[in-house]
């Protein structure tokens, strides 16, 4: 397939081979008749209204709405917010494209509001999805084939019908030209076929994880095939895409603001899965180059909802009149029960950071205790795991299933792996812990760095330098003491502040020494392991393997994660993976809090019960000022 530039693609035309998968927009007549008559690989398999990774579902086929919504929430009003660190790959300071599904450009957050997916997640279950565009799905006995039954009433915003042909087109184009989050995950899709307007067949190659079909069904936006006959999907674009979700693109000004407008006649508005959702008439996202400018906009009421990510601001700056007289509320909401991480990743693709002892030394120079006490008002705890706050985090010494997995690679692993898991050391809080800096100095010497005139050089005469890439000036204050400690052990360190566009470009091309990233994973993470840590993603531009991890043992453990057939096997595989990656010292672990710090103007209502696995402000809250 030559991509969306190709004109005149008919619905019965085979589009060729994409990454080894046969992608076609219509099945042959014999296959179609066989499948639609209930024979073939599905046999007598019943249609299912929902799926979960290990088979358990909270809601039955006759459920009326999710428990965490108010089904009678009023419609109307406006939510005005600004992006924050909850974003994944979007740039929180600007946007220059409305195509958030490729690597080019900086997309605004929440584009998923305008798109429907085959199925949708329940936020109070770790990995359950229920039918949206697809009213049901059949699963073959071997678990490799899926027949989605689409709702005939599904419509795009222009009133045109959304069909299985659009779904087949969408998944295939994401597999070929999409962001690496899609291309990496969809490698194991072997066939995508539209059998009719309402029947979509997906076949997997048999080596996939149990989560792949769920992640695809819940996360793959369904595009209009007709729209992309005249648009190039692979590039950035400010042309609003034709979509089918509860919102559409409204007014916007590149880099400044974007409004999502509620679709009054949204085709799915009366479905149980949509009840209590999409309550605001307008969701506006405002972009600010500087944090303080955004805070001032909130104080004036131009922004009405704000999640505060800066502890100093939360502790000292919410004393303006609207707070004291009650027009602005400060509240804490519990964090989600999701595995997550935050920290500064070291680019191990660069030869100067190839030695694990060098990377460990970099971590020892960061005095979290000093930063937390002097800059964060003691608001945070140190994290040490890539799946912090979850059962997947490795603890203590390996035992049971986790130990058995590690034993398979004992000859390729350091002996320390079989002892206590690595946790960041606790400093004396002085900002210059002599014992930790001494240990860092010893490690650097063991890695071959020799001190000359207070600087470090290798045998080739190359100096050890470290540039910390940041996109907001606030990080200059946070990492100032860290730079001092790095220089104290002989590393020529500095902080490089760049504009948002340059930052995103350099991250995508891995043009950095060290950069900070935060991410929350799915409650039952599968593909995250491959995207974050696999050798296959190490040198693919735009992936989240920021450190460039390229390790056959890590790859094997990722395979164990993806092959897990029970929750217990999945947990043990992640624990083994977490233990090994942490021992590689690919990052300087950051910090976390157990709650969301929320400030908002007193004009919102929200459901009594917050779901465990998401904080759905935009989708389940409502306006009280209409």
Report pLDDT digits (tens) over 462-507. 999 999 999 888 899 999 999 999 999 999 999 999 988 899 899 9
Task: Return left, alpha or beta for 606; rule: phi > 0 is left, psi -120 to 50 is alpha, else beta.
Answer: beta
Determine the pLDDT at residue 8: 27
Phi then psi for residue 150, to 5 deg, are -80, 150
Determine the pLDDT at residue 40: 64
Beta strand pairing call for 622-623 and 119-121:
unpaired
Determine the pLDDT at residue 291: 84
DSSP, collapsed to helix, strand or coil, labels residue 332 as strand
387 and 341 Cβ atoms separated by less than 8 Å: yes
User: Please, how many CA atoms are within 13 Å of residue 119, restricted to the half-sphere of its CB?
Assistant: 27
Which tokens sit at 90?
């979007």
Closest CA to 577 of 591, 566, 563, 590: 563
User: Please, how many CA atoms are within 13 Å of residue 514, restricted to the half-sphere of its CB?
Assistant: 28
Mean pLDDT of 212-221: 96
| % the chain with pLDDT above 90 | 82
Q: CA distances (Å), 277 to each of 67, 77, 114, 573, in order? A: 12, 14, 13, 36
H/E run at residue 364? helix 356-364
Domain ranges of the chain: 247-336+595-623, 340-592
CATH of 340-592, one of 3.40.1670.10, 3.10.105.10, 3.30.1360.120, 2.60.120.260: 3.10.105.10
| % the chain with pLDDT above 70 | 92
Task: Return left, alpha or beta for 36; rule: phi > 0 is left, psi -120 to 50 is alpha, else beta.
Answer: alpha
Determine the pLDDT at residue 623: 98
Determine the pLDDT at residue 31: 53
pLDDT tens figures, 82-131: 986 433 334 457 899 999 999 888 899 999 999 999 999 999 999 999 99
Determine the pLDDT at residue 181: 85
Closest CA to 556 of 582, 576, 526: 576
Q: Which residue has tokens 């979960």?
A: 52
Determine the pLDDT at residue 567: 93
Mean pLDDT of the chain: 91
- Homologous superfamily (CATH) for 247-336+595-623: Periplasmic binding protein-like II (3.40.190.10)
459: number of Cβ within 10 Å? 8
Label residue 27 by pLDDT band (50, 70, 90). very low
Residue 26 has pLDDT above 70, yes or no: no
Determine the pLDDT at residue 2: 30
Q: Which residue has tokens 């050391």?
A: 425
Residue 6 has pLDDT above 90, yes or no: no
Label residue 457 by pLDDT band (50, 70, 90). very high
Query: How many angstroms separate the CA atoms of 292 and 23, rounded?
Result: 49
Which tokens sit at 259?
């409004």
Mean pLDDT of 247-270: 97
pLDDT tens figures, 325-365: 999 999 999 999 999 999 999 999 999 999 999 999 999 99
Query: How many angstroms separate the CA atoms of 574 and 504, rounded?
Result: 29
Label residue 137 by pLDDT band (50, 70, 90). very high
pLDDT tens figures, 28-54: 444 555 555 555 677 678 999 999 999
Determine the pLDDT at residue 84: 67
pLDDT tens figures, 196-205: 999 999 999 9
What are the start-end ranges of the E strands in 562-621? 587-589, 591-592, 595-601, 604-605
């Amino acid at each position: 397939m030559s991509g969306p530039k190709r004109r005149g693609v008919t619905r019965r035309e085979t589009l060729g081979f994409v990454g080894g998968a046969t992608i076609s927009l219509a099945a042959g007549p014999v296959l179609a008749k066989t499948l639609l008559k209930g024979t073939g690989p599905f046999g007598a398999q019943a249609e299912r209204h929902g799926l979960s990774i290990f088979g358990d579902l909270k809601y039955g086929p006759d459920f009326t709405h999710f428990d965490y919504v108010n089904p009678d929430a009023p419609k109307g009003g406006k939510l005005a917010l600004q992006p924050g660190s909850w974003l994944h790959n979007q740039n929180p300071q600007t946007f220059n494209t409305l195509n958030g599904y490729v690597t080019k450009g900086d997309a605004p957050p929440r584009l998923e509001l305008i798109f429907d997916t085959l199925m949708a997640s329940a936020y109070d279950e770790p990995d359950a999805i229920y039918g949206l565009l697809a009213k049901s799905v059949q699963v073959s006995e071997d678990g490799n084939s899926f027949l989605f039954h689409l709702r005939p009433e599904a419509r795009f915003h222009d009133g045109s019908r959304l069909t299985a042909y659009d779904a087949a087109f969408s998944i295939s184009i994401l597999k070929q030209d999409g962001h690496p989050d899609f291309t990496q995950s969809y490698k194991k899709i072997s066939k995508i076929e539209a059998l009719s307007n309402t029947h979509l067949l997906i076949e997997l190659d048999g080596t996939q994880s149990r989560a792949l079909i769920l992640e695809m069904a819940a996360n793959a936006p369904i595009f209009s095939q007709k729209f992309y006959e005249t648009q190039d999907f692979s590039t950035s674009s400010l042309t609003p895409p034709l979509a089918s979700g509860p919102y559409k693109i409204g007014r916007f000004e590149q880099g400044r603001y974007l409004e999502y407008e509620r679709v009054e006649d949204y085709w799915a508005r009366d479905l149980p899965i949509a009840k209590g959702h999409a309550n605001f008439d307008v969701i506006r996202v405002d972009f600010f180059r500087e944090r303080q400018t955004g805070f001032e906009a909130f104080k004036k009421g131009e922004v009405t909802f704000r999640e505060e990510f800066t502890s100093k601001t939360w502790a000292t700056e919410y004393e303006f009149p609207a707070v004291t007289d009650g027009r602005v509320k400060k509240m804490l909401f519990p964090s989600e029960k999701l595995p997550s991480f935050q920290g500064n990743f070291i680019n191990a693709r660069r030869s100067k950071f190839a030695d694990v002892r060098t990377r460990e030394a970099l971590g020892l120079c960061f005095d979290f205790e000093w930063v937390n006490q002097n800059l964060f008002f003691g608001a945070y705890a140190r994290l040490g795991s890539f799946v912090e706050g979850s059962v997947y985090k490795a603890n203590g010494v390996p035992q049971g299933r986790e130990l058995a997995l590690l034993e398979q690679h004992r000859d390729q692993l350091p002996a320390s792996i079989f002892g206590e898991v690595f946790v960041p050391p606790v400093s004396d809080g002085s900002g210059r812990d002599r014992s930790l800096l001494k240990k860092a100095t010893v490690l650097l010497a063991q890695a071959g760095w020799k001190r000359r005139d207070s600087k470090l050089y290798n045998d080739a005469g190359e100096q050890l330098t470290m540039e910390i890439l940041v996109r907001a000036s606030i990080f200059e204050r946070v990492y100032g003491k860290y730079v001092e400690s790095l220089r104290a052990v002989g590393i020529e360190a500095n902080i490089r502040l760049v504009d948002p566009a340059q930052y995103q470009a350099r991250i995508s091309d891995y043009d950095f020494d060290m950069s900070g990233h935060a991410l929350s994973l799915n409650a039952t993470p599968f593909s995250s392991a491959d995207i974050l840590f696999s050798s296959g993603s190490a040198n693919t531009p735009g992936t989240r393997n920021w450190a460039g991890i390229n390790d056959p043992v890590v790859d094997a453990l990722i395979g164990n994660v993806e092959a897990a057939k029970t929750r217990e096997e999945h947990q043990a595989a992640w624990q083994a993976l977490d233990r090994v990656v942490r021992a590689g010292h690919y990052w300087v672990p950051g910090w976390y809090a157990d709650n969301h710090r929320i400030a908002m103007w007193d004009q919102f209502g929200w459901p009594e019960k917050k779901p465990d696995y998401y904080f759905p402000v935009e989708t389940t809250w409502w306006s009280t000022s209409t």
